Structure 1
C-alpha cells in the first residue's frame, strides 16, 4: 500500500502515511477505551503494522485514528476509530469515514463490518446496519487477554 494524503480540510489532514502516526496518542486513547481497555503498547504496534491505518491531524498533532483490517479483495473490518475529545463535533469523524469508504484499495469489497456501541448514526450514513442474521455470526471473545500480558 502506498501512503497517501486522503483528504485535506483546511488545517486538518487525513492520511494513510504510517510515518505520521503518533503511537503514544493512539496507545493512550485505546488503552482507556471501552473496547481495548488495558491493551499493551506492543499489541497496538502489531495491530498497526498489519492494518491500513488512517490518521487525522491538526497540523503535526494527531487528533484521530482508524484502522482497516482487510484482504483488499472481499472483506474489510473497521477498528479502533476515534477522534480526541477536544476535536469532536467538527465533522472530523464524518470526514474520516468518508475517506475510508473512498480509499481506492477498498473499492468493490463484498462485505464491510465493524463493532460499536456508539455513533450508530455516523456509521448508518455510510450504509452500515445491524446484522441481518446475527445467528450466522460467531466469535471468540477473550477480554481477559490484555490482563495477562
Structure 2
C-alpha cells in the first residue's frame, strides 16, 4: 500500500488540507475553518498519510465509555478504491475502544457498503431516534 500510514498525532494532520476537502463535501458544505478547528480539537482524529502528505481523514466524537459517532471520514478522490477508507475506519474504531461501547453511530449518503463491513447496520429502532438538523447551517 505505497508509503501509507495512519497518524493519531494532530500535529501531523494539516487542517488546511482537511478543510479544503470538507468545505466541498456534501455533509459539510462551506464549513467555516473555525468550526472545523473546534470539532478537530474536541474529537479523536486520525489522518491518513501517504509520502508525508495527508490524503484522508476521519474523526470520532466519543466519551470512550458508552458512545461514539464517526464523522468526516474521507479519502482524496485520486486515492479511492484502494482500501484506504477501511484503514481510517478501523483506526477510529480501535482507538475509541469500540468493543466496549454501547452504541456507535454514523450517517452516510453513499458509503453504506463500506460501513456494513465493520458491522454497521440500519437503525434497529429508528422510531426511538430524534434529531435536530440544520443541513444548510454553513450557508447562512
TM range (shorter): over 0.9
Number of aligned pairs?
140
1:60 has 2:49 as partner: no
- TM-score with structure 2 length normalisation? 0.94
Q: CA RMSD in A?
A: 1.3
1:100 has 2:92 as partner: yes
Q: Post-superposition shift, 1:118?
A: 1.2
- TM-score with structure 1 length normalisation? 0.89
Specify whether residues 93 and 141 from structure 1 end up closer, same or farther in structure 2 by C-alpha distance, changes over 3 A only. same
**Which of 12, 15, 28 is residue 23 of structure 1 equivalent to?**
15
Structure 2 alignment gaps of length 5 or more: none
Pairs within 5 Å for 1:36-55: 36-55=28-47
In structure 1, what is the Cα distance between the partners aligned to 2:47 and 2:56? 6
Structure 1 alignment gaps of length 5 or more: 1-8
In structure 2, what is the Cα distance between the partners aligned to 1:92 and 1:130? 23
In structure 1, what is the Cα distance between the partners aligned to 2:135 and 2:96? 34
SS of the equivalent of 2:27 reads coil
In structure 2, what is the Cα distance between the partners aligned to 1:120 and 1:133? 18
